Amino acid sequence: MTSDTTTSSSDMDSTTVPGGPDLAAAPGREHRQVTPPEDRYATELAFLAAQDTGPRPPGWRLTPRAVVTFVTGSAGEALSLPKAARPDAGVPRRLVIEQKFVGERALVERCVVTLAGERGLLLVGEPGTAKSMLSELLSAAVCGTSALTVQGTAGTTEDQLKYGWNYALLLAQGPTEQALVPSPVLTAMTRGAVARVEEVTRCLPEVQDALVSLLSERRIAVPELAGSEGAQVHAAPGFSLIATANLRDRGVSEMSAALKRRFNFETVGPIGDVDAETALVRRQSRAAVERAGAAYQVDDAVLEALVTAFRDLREGRSSEGWEVERPSTVMSTAEAVSVAGSLGLAAAYFPGDRDVLSLLPGHLLGVVRKDDPADAARLLGYWDGPVRRRAEQGSATWRALWDLRAVLEN
């Protein structure tokens, strides 16, 4: 059974829509809003494939060690290709591998070992802790694509995990392989690749149950094709599945014990180091502003105050040890990046209108009130506590924020 009916995001770059525009020739096509990691880091992936020639699990493009290096970076060290290596054109002989996921290397190593053992991997954690990004990076490094993805929702059906039909061909030819439309999971099985299921706990229980037999038996039955060789589709070596789940969604569709046993659970937590989180927020917000063609004008003092406020409200305690009442919304690093990007765009598009720092309280209020408008009172309590105390200790940045308290009352 073939899987030609599934098109990855990288395939789309050379696709012409019948009766429509040539997507490959469309102006600005090369400048996508979001570039998949297999395209964005193509040079790194090619370099690591040539640099580490150790044993690889069946179907893998990189060694497990190289996958970990791709995700966590080379710590600023330039890696070198072996003298005998003959890399593809355009691949340098020395390269520093960028850190893409800020977290424990041991966590990434456990994830890679799980995938090498062809066992399901479930990444759990609070929203905004880069679970999806980690799953994308792992998929890109292991099999060369992160596009074989099913987005879990209450409307996700079993067909979206297995297969569907091209009904025009089905009516014309009956149930044939040509009429079969494979799901991303089925495509991954036939290719020996990694499939991804986002927000698996948002899927209804009967949809989740389809994963139990799939992960146990490693095959999908197609009864409509009974009697032909395609009646059973078996997973090729290298097939594995990565799912993600938010801890906040446990009450949506709790996973069955049978399904849980078929996954190795790994918890992705918030970034522990304040300097690492600040650097990440700076890097990603700068990239977002520069993609818009604007100059990044958010200084370090504003970013440090932003990240500090997020961490204090997230943890329920300030860095000085003062108690903070936590809002019900998740003060994630992803939200901090969003706020920093908004500040950068405001500074670029409305230059001189106001100080960037003066915009911070309003943006924080917008984040805090997402789940419960009453949480605005908790943010005001934070201003009356740590913000005021830091202002009294002589910090110019926190003094300016304290003077903006009235913004939170309006």
Q: What is the average per-residue pLDDT within 260-288?
A: 94
Determine the Cα–Cα distance for residues 259 and 212; give it in Å rounded to an integer: 5
Kindly state whether residue 78 falls inside one of the protein's structural domains.
Answer: no
The residue among 219, 245, 267 that closes a domain is: 267
Kindly state whether residue 45 falls inside one of the protein's structural domains.
Answer: no
pLDDT at residue 243 tops 80: yes
Determine the Cα–Cα distance for residues 292 and 83; give it in Å rounded to an integer: 41
Kindly state whether residue 47 falls inside one of the protein's structural domains.
Answer: no
The residue among 267, 284, 303 that closes a domain is: 267
Which range marks the domain in which residue 383 is found?
274-409
Supply the mean pLDDT for the chain: 89
Parallel, antiparallel or unpaired: strands 240-246 and 194-198: parallel
Pair 162, 150: CB distance under 8 Å: no
Q: What pLDDT, on the 0 to 100 scale, is given for residue 3? A: 39
pLDDT at residue 19 tops 80: no
Residue 268: helix, strand or coil by DSSP? coil
Q: Would you tell me how many other CB atoms lie within 10 Å of the CB of residue 104?
A: 13
pLDDT at residue 186 tops 50: yes
Determine the Cα–Cα distance for residues 279 and 285; give it in Å rounded to an integer: 10
Model pTM? 0.86
pLDDT category of residue 156 using cuts at 50, 70 and 90: very high
Kindly state whether residue 73 falls inside one of the protein's structural domains.
Answer: no
pLDDT at residue 17 tops 70: no
Q: Provide φ and ψ at 6, rounded to 5°.
A: -100, 130
Do 326 and 361 fall within a single domain? yes
In 3-state terms the chain splits into helix, strand, coil percentages (rounded to 5) of: 50, 10, 40
CA angle 65, 67, 69 (to 5 degrees): 70
Kindly state whether residue 386 falls inside one of the protein's structural domains.
Answer: yes
Do 247 and 321 fall within a single domain? no
The residue among 238, 267, 296 that closes a domain is: 267
Q: Which residues pair with 197 in a beta bridge?
A: 150, 243
Do 238 and 362 fall within a single domain? no
- Which two tokens mark 232? 């059973």
pLDDT at residue 6 tops 60: no
CA angle 344, 349, 354 (to 5 degrees): 75
pLDDT digits (tens, 9 = 90+) for 347-371: 999 987 779 999 999 999 999 999 8
pLDDT digits (tens, 9 = 90+) for 296-352: 999 999 999 999 999 999 999 998 999 999 999 989 999 999 999 999 999 999 987
In the chain, the number of structural domains is: 2
Residue 404: helix, strand or coil by DSSP? coil
Do 159 and 175 fall within a single domain? yes
Do 156 and 262 fall within a single domain? yes
